[in-house]
Structure 1
Amino acid sequence: MVTELRVHGVTGTPAEDVLDRPLLRRVAGDTEAGFFRPRAEYGAVTGPGGVTLEAYRWGNLTAGAAARALWLLLLPFMLANVAIWLRPDVGVRARATIRALTRVFALTMTASFVLSFIEISMDLVGWQCAAQARCLEGRGYLAVLVDLTTSRRLAVTALVPALAIAFLWFLGRRTWARYEAFPVTTDGDGDGLAHPCFWNGRPLVGRLRSLHIAVAFGTLDAVLLGVLVPHDRHLAGYALAAATAVILLAAFVAVTLTAVVHRDAPARWAKPFTRVMSHAAVVLTGLVLAYSCLGRDPWQASGRMPVFSGTVTVLFAVQVLLMLVLGGVVLATRPRGTFLQGLAGPLIASTGLGVAAAFAAAMAYRVADLLNRRALATTADYAETPLLLEPPPAYEWAAAGFVLLLVLAVLVGLVMGMPLVRRLRRYARVVTDADFRGGRQRDPERARHIDTAVADALVTDHVGRMLVWVFVPTAAAAVVATGFALLGRRPIRLADSGSVAAEVMSAVVNLGTYLIGLAAFALVFIGVLAYRYQRFRRIVGVLWDLGTFWPRSAHPLAPPCYAERVVPELARRAGWLAAEQGGVILSGHSQGSVLAAATVLQLPPEAQARTTLLTYGSPLRRLYARFFPAYVNDAVLGRIGAVLARAEDGVLDAGQHSPRWVNLWRDTDPIGGPVQSPTARDVRLADPPGFDIAAGDTVFPKVDGHSGYQLRPAFGAAVTGLVAVLSEGSDETPTVANPPVSAS
């Protein structure tokens, strides 16, 4: 008996909806990721062609537990991690350079995370607020700081970023044990979907996590010592500063060494070295805190915390420089015709940097609002009385940049988006008229509705280019702003005080501080709603399903990679069904089609011979081949169909046309599309299935777009054809009929 094993896409679709059966039982797996079949006692356990129905529900790995919604706060880490997989298909040396630059950038993102907590706890509270009686007045929760010396206040408030680092460490170890722990024993080079070790990220994640923890604690130590050492000028302080510098330098060098970051064959000393680094950083932090608590001469804090503002600015400048170098390497080595000129990686990484800067600025200004007890707490104000507390001036540039980003997005949408929509609708008319001849004459409004659905789906193919027009000017502005920040120039000081230009800039910066605060609040609010409502959990899950498919090869503290469990687990189950249960049709929708395709490449040869593949709404060509050309390309797509057809050299014989892989797609689908591979048969479905209201009905057939593939006749025809191939052992192409389209 052939089994159709269905794999859902994003949003954590319930298994009952995947199989269109209300009563199911779990036959394998667990509550996080399990295999389900209809209950035999209620009948209707088979599907088209007499297949045994089975669904694999993996959605709880990303969208099931409400607590995981808080991973939204780790969005910058996720974007930094995805950037390493977005590289073009380049040579070995360029690949190593791109990976090294991306991993160094990921380390700086961890440092930025720590600095955001240092700004709130140490600078705003421990240094600025605690030194002013007016700020402490009526705040009993800060009473512990009143009688402490300046250095001891810094030590106490340094516990907040230390606890944040400890929480990241705990979360990283917990997800490391639950996700990357699926057993994989086969050797491989780990660089390609066909290699089993590609999904074995546990060893690398462990080593990278130790280095990131070392940098996190080292960043905290460096800021604390940067305040204390110039004041004390003591040998012990200099020794601690030297040790901190060694740990930071060693960590940044280590992530560029193949001996440390090679996924499958690191040096023997790599794991002990990284573990020693993290433990040494913890011990060093304890020594620095103890040093901070030593008795000192009376020391009055005033203004902003020394060194810190410069540290924030320099770190941001380094991050911008890394993005520029990364973009230069990509442009110099990319193959011709690469989507977005191969710059998808730098663009996504820069987005992560922008989100991190916005989060940091938003928290700083809102905490300053709270402590200042005033409505507008920003250093952009031209008030005669200075603010009690002032966040770093560099955050003003972040606020102004956020406003610029929004303005550019609106302008690009108006200038490029509206003409694009008109052009796409003209093309959509051709599609609609070809599918439903004579329909436009009978019902122009119905035809326009279908035109809109087709045109809206086609926008996906042009969004990337539109984003380039948003991010390139923003990146240029970021470079200019970084230069001004390094020179100590604030945005409001670019014009004469009291002038109209100065007032406009002040208003822009003030607006930006509240807009980024609103954006950060909205993100947290969505996380809170996800605790209570499944619908919001699914919305959060969509983001993570797309961003956490790839292993944590750059940033180990990003949300975990569910595919490192899903793909090996699917391969084991599908292999058993193929070898022991008569054969299997791997049936994947949307993101599930990507998982199913990756699973095919992991199957042993004896299982591949009894496996076929059905994909629908698949983003393999439309999205993955564009954005991840080094890992999803013509060769990989060709191999997927070839291994199923038992073509050992990866090439089908002449006349042999995709006997074992069928892909269904629609023009109204904004995500899925044809895979355009000689080893796959693309079958286009007209959507909606009919133009006019059917006899006995009262409403028009709806436009399904990305959903409902398994409810159409063509789906059943595809399954039946693939069953025939498996049952007969034939290499002939299965017959897949397009659904009838009525023009009446």
Structure 2
Amino acid sequence: MAGAGAGQVLGCRDVRQVAGDRRAGFYRPRAQSRHTTGAGGTVLEAYQWSDLPSGTAARTLSLVFLLPFMLSNVTFWMRPAGRGLQSGVTVLSRLLALTLTLVYALTAAGVALDLLAWKCMGSSGCLAGRGWLSWLGGRPVGLRLALLALVPFAAVALVWFLGARQARSYGAFRLPTAKPQGDDLTALDRWDVSPRAKRLHTIHVAAALVTLDVVLLAARAAAGTSVTVVVLSALTGALLATCVVLLCVPRLLESAPIASTRDRMPLVLRAVAGGLTVATLGYVAVEPVRWPRSNGLPRYDDIVAIVFVTQTALLVALAVLALWRPGGRDRRPALLRGLGAAVVAAVAVGLAGALSGEVVYRAASLLSRRTFMLRTGDLAVPVPAYRWAILAFFLTTIAAVAAGAIIILSTRAERRRTAAAIVARDYPAPPPEAKARARRVEKAVIQASFTEQLGSLAIAYACLTVIGLAASALALAGLEPSPLAQDLLGVPSEVQSVVMAIGSYLILAVVVGLLVGGLFASRTAWFRRYVGVLWDLGTFWPRAAHPFAPPCYTERAVPELTDRICQLARRYDGVVLSGHSQGSVILAATVLRLRPEVRRRVALLTYASPLKRLCAELYPEYLGEPVLHEIGHRIGWRWLNLWSNTDPIGGWIFSGQRPGDQPALPPPAALVDRRLRDPDDVLAPPGDSTPPPIWGHTPYESDDRYAAAVRELADRLRADWEQRGPQNCAELH
């Protein structure tokens, strides 16, 4: 559980921690509590891991800024199940992740080098009243660029610090495995400490340093070429090409030795990147040269536009690869139509571009002491590529809101009919006093069914984002939003300035919303229950594509649960594993880690689970139907899944989605799902004045039907125990 507290799950307020630490641990009711046992005489124990994905408020804020990196990392795990497509999606996902690192480095360079070192320090008006800048204003241009280049380097170090987590933090919980290089659910806790993760981190750090070198050398080349410039440029280009090749050939990345101390590639790559950076800074700082006069850092805008255009090409290639299916007979997932990797990658790239444009635009606004900026003559106007990014984000958001409204209105009638049929089937002929309650239930079912429509909305937003990114190609041709809109559409410059300002404030509002949402999700259980599930799904996966993504909490949760389950299996006749929402996903990975002698004593209860509705559709290779069947086989199909039509996140796993549908699979898989009528009734029970609550996605451990499911699984375990006889549980490690 993440959103609910241990006391809520255990059904009592007086609980004590029996294992773990302050960030995650196991809890039981105290001996003096009235609720020391659960249904069927079971011993109650809850695992609370809410502080692993988020933790403190400061950590939550830092994770928000890593959101684009997290989304790009998720695309790696959205690879299709077909072996012929996995390599291509893997390469494209990692290349897109690399471009996000380049965008981040270019953003820092845009503020420090383009705005400060070049534009502001070359203007007496900008330096007026700014003593913290004027001391450097009279220095040579090369020295200013070299000194302020330390700011982007510090920014790269900062994002590494925010996304990094020391391996020793989870060292005590990690279990040894025979396949430390595996990439399935049984090796999730090994990714962040594997040598290939270290290689991936080194590649991104080297690429960030190379990006800054390219910006400096391109500006220096505008002042005239020399042998040193040519040599440094060639070496820098070769190093960047090496980083790209390492990502394009998975075998080069995956061939890291098991012992990370024997892997020399990261050491060599860091040494070369660091040496080139020092040489570039020194050369730019000390060589006397007559720098050209221009409105911005020479060729910086072209570099930004090239990266944006490259991202557009990679997104299109990823979408084409996702749509291409050999044979054409494979059933496409309902959610996102099989375009999960492309859609999430587009959202990550679009968000990163918008945030970068906002940072540069906001810094330019502060330096120029203006609220609105659009004209090229403004002192610190950002480069055209960033202006296109801000404008594209504004137009994309407006179009996405309109598309969402259209989808809601066009599907509402069908969803209303389906909800009415479900309510009529569950509560036939309700009395007049219960009709208002029945309408509330119908409304809850309508709202919950909108989850299936989010796929169409996400695809529409991704397509609009790609179109917006493609507009960056206009910057390469020297076209800017202001004159183009004025010449083609006749839009006055004043109106364009207002639109640009609105787009900037819209991005700022998104950032503030993410920050506030992150704080609420980390401190408010009810808010985290609905919004935090998206963050939990993202941080569930290791950093296989982007090393600056938020750390994967699974590297502790899965081995910690695995070890605890083995201990309980040795002590008791059996263990009923109960997982709500994201907890069911963690348990799915945990079950696959259990040894056979432990699995024979385990039963699984999932409720409000996104395993099929979200995870199997978004991550078909790792949580698809074959994996779900494998989980059922390993625990002898001692598995029950409770779901309801009012849940917007959880759902069925094997059997049909609507009540009355014929099972799509033969037993025992078809017997796993149990649809709960939610609420249990629209009338208040005898002796009570309040009808039963509508649970939705809320944990419902206090519901009698949940207790009945626990008793049923406990009875199955006891029956199997009596049939087999006592057996010793072997150690897991």
CA displacement at 1:704 relative to structure 2: 1.1
Alpha-carbon deviations, 1:552-593, whole Å to 9, x = none? 111111001111221121111112211343321111000001
Whether contact under 8 Å (2:232, 2:276) holds in the other structure is yes
Alpha-carbon deviations, 1:386-438, whole Å to 9, x = none? 21112011112112211222222222122221131222111111111111121
Q: Check if 1:336 corresponds to 2:304.
A: no
Alignment of structure 1 residues 561-600 onto 2, 5 Å: 561-600=552-591
**1:347 counterpart residue number:** 343
Q: Check if 1:463 corresponds to 2:454.
A: yes
CA displacement at 1:361 relative to structure 2: 0.8
Percent identity of paired positions between Structure 1 and Structure 2: 37
Q: Check if 1:671 corresponds to 2:661.
A: no
Q: In the superposition, relative to structure 1, how do residues 534 and 119 fare at CA in structure 2: closer, same or farther (>3 Å)? A: farther
Q: In the superposition, relative to structure 1, how do residues 483 and 697 fare at CA in structure 2: closer, same or farther (>3 Å)? A: same
Decide which of 35, 42, 46 is 1:44's aligned counterpart: 35
SS, match of residue 255 in structure 1: helix
Residues in 2 aligned to 1:208 and 1:581: alpha-carbon distance in whole angstroms: 44
Residues in 2 aligned to 1:704 and 1:252: alpha-carbon distance in whole angstroms: 49
CA displacement at 1:639 relative to structure 2: 1.3
Q: In the superposition, relative to structure 1, how do residues 181 and 174 fare at CA in structure 2: closer, same or farther (>3 Å)? A: farther
**1:435 counterpart residue number:** 426
SS, match of residue 613 in structure 1: strand
Whether contact under 8 Å (1:35, 1:54) holds in the other structure is yes
Aligned CA-pair RMSD: 2.7
Residues in 2 aligned to 1:240 and 1:565: alpha-carbon distance in whole angstroms: 44
Whether contact under 8 Å (1:363, 1:517) holds in the other structure is no
Residues in 2 aligned to 1:472 and 1:294: alpha-carbon distance in whole angstroms: 47
SS, match of residue 100 in structure 1: helix
Residues in 2 aligned to 1:229 and 1:222: alpha-carbon distance in whole angstroms: 10
**1:662 counterpart residue number:** 640
CA displacement at 1:295 relative to structure 2: 4.7
Residues in 2 aligned to 1:443 and 1:514: alpha-carbon distance in whole angstroms: 47
**1:148 counterpart residue number:** 139
Alpha-carbon deviations, 1:121-173, whole Å to 9, x = none? 11111110110000010012212322311111111211111101122333444
CA displacement at 1:625 relative to structure 2: 1.1
Residues in 2 aligned to 1:289 and 1:577: alpha-carbon distance in whole angstroms: 59
Decide which of 87, 95, 98 is 2:89's aligned counterpart: 98
Residues in 2 aligned to 1:484 and 1:298: alpha-carbon distance in whole angstroms: 30
Higher alpha-carbon deviation: 583-592 or 696-705: 696-705
Alpha-carbon deviations, 1:706-733, whole Å to 9, x = none? 113211111111111111111121799x
SS, match of residue 60 in structure 1: coil
**2:726 counterpart residue number:** none
Whether contact under 8 Å (1:579, 1:606) holds in the other structure is no
Alpha-carbon deviations, 1:513-560, whole Å to 9, x = none? 332233234434556788998888888854431211111111111001
Decide which of 370, 373, 377 is 1:377's aligned counterpart: 373
CA displacement at 1:81 relative to structure 2: 0.3
Residues in 2 aligned to 1:263 and 1:731: alpha-carbon distance in whole angstroms: 48
Q: What letter matches 2:254 in structure 1?
A: H
Higher alpha-carbon deviation: 256-265 or 116-125: 256-265
Q: In the superposition, relative to structure 1, how do residues 437 and 538 fare at CA in structure 2: closer, same or farther (>3 Å)? A: closer
Residues in 1 aligned to 2:172 and 2:99: alpha-carbon distance in whole angstroms: 27
Q: Check if 1:206 corresponds to 2:198.
A: yes
Q: Check if 1:520 corresponds to 2:511.
A: yes
Whether contact under 8 Å (2:574, 2:717) holds in the other structure is yes
Residues in 1 aligned to 2:487 and 2:147: alpha-carbon distance in whole angstroms: 39
Q: Check if 1:490 corresponds to 2:474.
A: no
Whether contact under 8 Å (1:344, 1:627) holds in the other structure is yes
SS, match of residue 324 in structure 2: helix
CA displacement at 1:257 relative to structure 2: 2.5
Higher alpha-carbon deviation: 699-708 or 549-558: 699-708
Q: Check if 1:289 corresponds to 2:281.
A: yes
Q: In the superposition, relative to structure 1, how do residues 280 and 563 fare at CA in structure 2: closer, same or farther (>3 Å)? A: same
Q: In the superposition, relative to structure 1, how do residues 541 and 289 fare at CA in structure 2: closer, same or farther (>3 Å)? A: farther
CA displacement at 1:700 relative to structure 2: 3.2
Q: In the superposition, relative to structure 1, how do residues 129 and 440 fare at CA in structure 2: closer, same or farther (>3 Å)? A: farther
Q: Check if 1:452 corresponds to 2:443.
A: yes
Q: In the superposition, relative to structure 1, how do residues 541 and 158 fare at CA in structure 2: closer, same or farther (>3 Å)? A: farther
Residues in 2 aligned to 1:440 and 1:379: alpha-carbon distance in whole angstroms: 68
Alignment of structure 1 residues 88-167 onto 2, 5 Å: 88-91=80-83, 93-167=84-158
SS, match of residue 84 in structure 1: helix
5+ long unaligned stretches in structure 1: 1-7, 381-385, 646-657, 733-744
Residues in 2 aligned to 1:534 and 1:124: alpha-carbon distance in whole angstroms: 43
Decide which of 359, 362, 365 is 2:355's aligned counterpart: 359
Residues in 2 aligned to 1:231 and 1:536: alpha-carbon distance in whole angstroms: 56
TM-score when scaled to structure 2? 0.90
**2:213 counterpart residue number:** 221
Alpha-carbon deviations, 1:451-478, whole Å to 9, x = none? 0001111111221023223332442343
Aligned residues: 703
Residues in 1 aligned to 2:628 and 2:345: alpha-carbon distance in whole angstroms: 27
**1:250 counterpart residue number:** 242
Q: What letter matches 1:344 in structure 2?
A: G
Whether contact under 8 Å (1:84, 1:98) holds in the other structure is yes
CA displacement at 1:327 relative to structure 2: 1.5
**1:33 counterpart residue number:** 24
**1:262 counterpart residue number:** 254
Q: In the superposition, relative to structure 1, how do residues 521 and 173 fare at CA in structure 2: closer, same or farther (>3 Å)? A: closer
Higher alpha-carbon deviation: 523-532 or 541-550: 523-532
Residues in 2 aligned to 1:174 and 1:191: alpha-carbon distance in whole angstroms: 21
SS, match of residue 709 in structure 1: coil
**1:742 counterpart residue number:** none
Residues in 2 aligned to 1:101 and 1:266: alpha-carbon distance in whole angstroms: 25
SS, match of residue 59 in structure 1: coil
Residues in 2 aligned to 1:449 and 1:538: alpha-carbon distance in whole angstroms: 21
CA displacement at 1:440 relative to structure 2: 6.2
TM-score when scaled to structure 1? 0.89
Q: What letter matches 2:616 in structure 1?
A: A
Q: In the superposition, relative to structure 1, how do residues 463 and 530 fare at CA in structure 2: closer, same or farther (>3 Å)? A: closer
